[in-house]
Structure 1
Amino acid sequence: MSQASIKFRILGPVEYHDGENWVPIKAAKQRTLMALLLLNANHLVSAQQLHSELWNDGPSSHVGSLLAGCVWRLRAAIGDSAGETLLTRPAGYQLAVPSGGLDLHEYESLVASGRMQRASGNLVEAMRSFSAALELWRGSPLADVALTSSIMAESARLEESRLAVLEANFGMRIALGQHEDVLPELKLLVAQHPLRERLHEHLMMALYRTGQQAEALGAYRDLHHLLSDELGIVPSRPLRELQQRILEEDPRLNDHGALPVATASGPGEPAVSPEAAPCLLPHQPSLFVGRTSELAAIVGLLAEGRPAVAIHGLAGSGKSALAIAAAHASAGDFPGGRVYVDMRGTTGSSALRPDQAMQLVLRSFGTEQGSGGAAVPHAWTGPAGGRALIVLDNVRDSDQIQEFLSVPPGCSLIVTSRSPIGGMDGLRHLRLGRLTVSASIDLLRQSVGTPRIDTEPAFASELARSCDYLPFALRLAADRLATRPDWSVADFARYVAEPHQRLDFLAGGNVSLRDSLLASLPLLSDESGGTAVTAVMALRRLGFLDLTIVTVEALAVLFGTREGEAHKIAERLVDVGLIESLAIDRYRVPQSVRALAREITGSDHEAAEAVQRVVDHYAIAAREQTRLTPGAWYRLERETLNALVTRDRTGALVESLGRMRSMLGANGSCSAHSES
């Protein structure tokens, strides 16, 4: 047998082809050795790794000779006595496999081809490639090989890959009208893999398209019960939406030539064929709670024909997630397609220019900029006709989207930004703030698990409070807990509650709360003149003051300026998403923003004196209120007074509050000391 034409198979029992037949390797050690070399085909595998995997019961003085002997016997078994295929290298061994000589390589090539065909909308060829890839499987991968650490890891990876390709192929077949043919195999696979939601999605679609609406809803109900009982969670949003569409007998579910739902294509791949409307949206947010009314409001406005909805609010309040969820939920109102563009408005120099954004949108609808810069009129209706929806996410200001300020005919926009966007035709504003306490706890439950959160409810509530009840911070906290099962909720909550380490713990991977908040600082510096410098300085002083609620009157004292100027600075901080407006003269400063503010470098010799001025301001106000009716004022300012009384260096505030307590008499609940 020519070694140049030797072939191997590992997608099942390990075998090689002797020129006429497929032949197994009889000896277990030689079989494992060949499997390890095939998994690293055409690459060196060190002798040390082979030692540890083949003889994992400890070192031996004879292990080197044992490996050499095993290699020699494997060469003899595959007819490679000259060592042309199983090569000896200075540090180990290498199996030279010719092109097309390993079933795994052929499988991976077919899968890659199928994904490319699917991305280009050629569903028939995609199905053929996926089917050919699956036909190479002969059972469990490496089925007759001892389970060393590498073999176990690679077997698990290959099994997962096979299931993913099966799911993708079912999506192609159902989209091409083969729903009756796939049902028996789908039912079997769902029974074998009951927690794979994608298989349930395909089963529901196939059942519905064969006229079995009740059975399709029953499949969803079975999954819901299973996930609830086993994991304490509910099915993902795409599955919940599919259930609703089945209940409503949505006629689009019977359309052939398009994939069943948005999740049926892989990340970054179109969810419909090129002949259908473009749907270039990110996947549904996996953790999306507490925004039901806001979502309904946006979907309702778009359904009414509102040309533009702008979402603005605090950094980390979930503006992008809400916009994406609304775009998915509004699919039926936009047959012309839906397109998403990240404007990167908080990334400085890498932010998109207005003309770049316009070109991205036009290309998404299969057209280009018209002569003289004018948009081609039919660009907004897309190939399928009808209204189109454009999501412009993370916009810096109205200048960045000046090409869209006159909303194109037959189009609607969803715009998200930290600052309010104005000047757009038919614009409707929606300000996004904090979640409710219960919604914050629900978000933690969905990621960390209900039993773990509900076992320590007080500390879960404390953690949510330390995250300012904002979705981004809550998701970061949930991710840390979910990936650290040995951490208790109580311990983690105590660490996050410490202001000097909160921002360090609310981070994971390449994202962090600190970076998200820091992205707002350049927006302050974008202002010309002295206001920008004053705004940064004001933020630092707010960190030193460390109050949850501040009034314009107190800010003027802190900044050493007029109330009108203090109000202007505060509104600038609101516009960049750092503080929250509660009333025209009252603001909330999130704990995480105060922590960030204390990290801002710079010299401010008057900071301590500025804080004392605020303490003295409240001391004077308390004395004045004592002459009036102080009960209502005290209840309104109680949290602020409790925080400031510990920073009173002169005793003036303590004295004023003492007089107020005397006047309030027996109402001990009004004691500042008792609550500080």
Structure 2
Amino acid sequence: MDIDVLGTLDVREQGVSVTPTAPKPRQVLALLALQANRAVPVNMLIEELWGAEPPRSARATLQTYVLHLRELIAAALESGGRGRCSARDVLVTVPGGYLLKRGEGTVDLLEFERLAGEGYRAMDAEDYPTAARRLREALALWTGSALCDVHAGPHLTAQIQRLEENRLCALDQRIDAELRLGRHRELLAELTVLVGRYPHHESLWGQYMVALYRSGRRSDALNAYQRLRTTLIRTLGLEPSPALGKLQRSILLSGPQGIPAAATSGAGRLAPVG
């Protein structure tokens, strides 16, 4: 079974889509797919579909949704010539819940995590070309926001937030790697969009400031800091972090030969870039 969640939901068995069009069965499949090869309790599925006050018919209705998913899986298995394998072998009833077996299929989330992990290890080893390449490959797996076409209840919402945070972390590290490779001009357009999309993300703003400065736009880099500071004070009542303040002072005081530190991701540290 092949599972894609980094964008629209797409689950395929034998190359045939088993993704339902109805919203609630689609929601059930999304939660099962994210937890593939792991049991998902019935209570979790019910809470995902109906919140804290489910109807009395919730369990029976959930069973109907599972039956519908098995019908789709059975049709895909039949078209793929796997008559000996039943839909119940793929979408398994386990004590207290259900389990979706992915077998040897591909999962875009697992591939993203593998490539991103290689990128992070390359960053730790200061192998910036490899880090940038692996993280770019990981991010290319995303075709939109995670599960963007699935209605999300409490459990899917938490999972989607986790996935989006992982995506943002990989993006942050990839930009840091490319800044260290001197690709500041190539990054400017992308960073301009990103700081508009994430107005409170200080690491991206720091990278934006570095890219502006190194492109000969010192005043714009300083203005970017002031824009961020105004936004943080107005919306959160906070000053920018000490790390970002240090970067701003570095740009402000640097002479013609001065090179400000590049903001890194995560802890907001500053690391010099030669």
Q: For the superposition of Structure 1 and Structure 2, which TM-score range results when normalised by the shorter chain?
A: 0.7 to 0.9
Per-residue CA distance 1:115-145 (angstroms, 9 max, x = gap):
1111011111111111111111111111111
Return 5+ residue gaps in structure 1 as ranges.
1-5, 255-259, 277-676
**Match among 148, 165, 173 for residue 153 of structure 2:** 148
Residue 391 (structure 1) aligns with: none
Q: Counterparts of 1:96 and 1:18 in 2: how far apart (Å)?
A: 11
Separation of aligned partners in 2, 1:64 and 1:215: 59
* Counterpart secondary structure, 2:148: coil
Give the deviation of 1:206 after TM superposition. 0.3
Residues 119, 270 of structure 1: 8 Å contact kept: no
**Distance change in 2, residues 1:94/1:21 (3 Å):** closer
In the TM superposition, what whole-angstrom CA distance separates every residue of 1:316-365 from its partner, at most 9, and x where no partner exists? xxxxxxxxxxxxxxxxxxxxxxxxxxxxxxxxxxxxxxxxxxxxxxxxxx
What is the Cα-based RMSD across aligned positions, in Å?
2.5
Distance in 2 of aligned mates of 1:195 and 1:124: 28
- Between the aligned partners of 2:31 and 2:98, the Cα distance in structure 1 is 10
Letter of the 1:214 counterpart: S
Q: Secondary structure at the match of 1:253?
A: coil
SS at match of 2:11: strand
Q: CA deviation at 1:271?
A: 4.5
One-letter code aligned to 1:50: L
Match of 2:264 in 1: 264
- Equivalent residue, structure 2, for 1:221: 226
Residue 27 of structure 2 contacts residue 151 of structure 2 at CA under 8 Å; is this kept in 1? Answer: yes
- From 220, 242, 256, the equivalent of 1:237 is 242
Between 1 and 2, higher relative CO (CA 8 Å, sep ≥ 6) is seen in 2
Displacement of 1:241 in angstroms is 1.1
CA distance in 1, matches of 2:272, 2:70: 51
* One-letter amino acid of the structure 2 residue matched with residue 125 of structure 1: T
Q: 1:33 aligns with which of 28, 33, 41?
A: 28
Note the alpha carbon deviations across 1:226-268, whole angstroms, 9 max, x for none: 22222232211111111111122264527xxxxx43x51555x
Match of 2:112, SS state, is: helix
Structure 2 distance, partners of 1:184, 1:59, is 47
Letter in 2 for 1:253: I
CA positional deviation for 1:272: 6.6
Alignment: residue pair count = 263
Task: Please name the residue that 1:130 is paired with.
Answer: 135
SS in 1 for 2:87: coil
1:270-419 alignment runs, 5 A limit: 271=271
Shift of residue 202, structure 1, vs aligned partner? 0.5
- Residue 22 of structure 1 deviates from its aligned partner by 6.1
**Structure 1 residues 491-528: Cα deviation after superposition (integer angstroms, max 9, x where no partner):** xxxxxxxxxxxxxxxxxxxxxxxxxxxxxxxxxxxxxx
Cα distance in 2 for partners of 1:271, 1:238 equals 10
2:209 matches 1:204: yes
Are the aligned partners of 2:112 and 2:141 in contact in 1 as well (CA < 8 Å)? yes
**How far has the Cα of 1:84 moved from its partner?**
2.4
The alpha-carbon distance between structure 1 residues 173 and 23, as it changes in their structure 2 partners (threshold 3 A), is: farther
Question: Are 2:43 and 1:48 aligned?
Answer: yes
% identical aligned pairs: 35
**Partner Cα distance (1:229, 1:61) in 2:** 47
For 1:198 and 1:228, the matched residues in 2 are separated by 17
Contact 2:3 2:12 in 1 (8 A): yes
Post-superposition offset of 1:52: 2.4
Match of 1:114 in 2: 119
Q: What TM-score does the superposition give when structure 2 sets the normalisation length?
A: 0.86
SS, match of residue 11 in structure 1: coil
3-state DSSP of counterpart to 1:94: strand
Q: Runs of 5+ in structure 2 lacking a partner?
A: 78-85
Candidates 248, 251, 259, aligned match of 1:253: 259
Matched with 1:161 is: 166
Partner of 1:194: 199
Whole-Å separation in 2 of the counterparts to 1:87 and 1:248: 64
Whether the 8 Å CA contact 2:176–2:264 is kept in 1: the answer is: yes
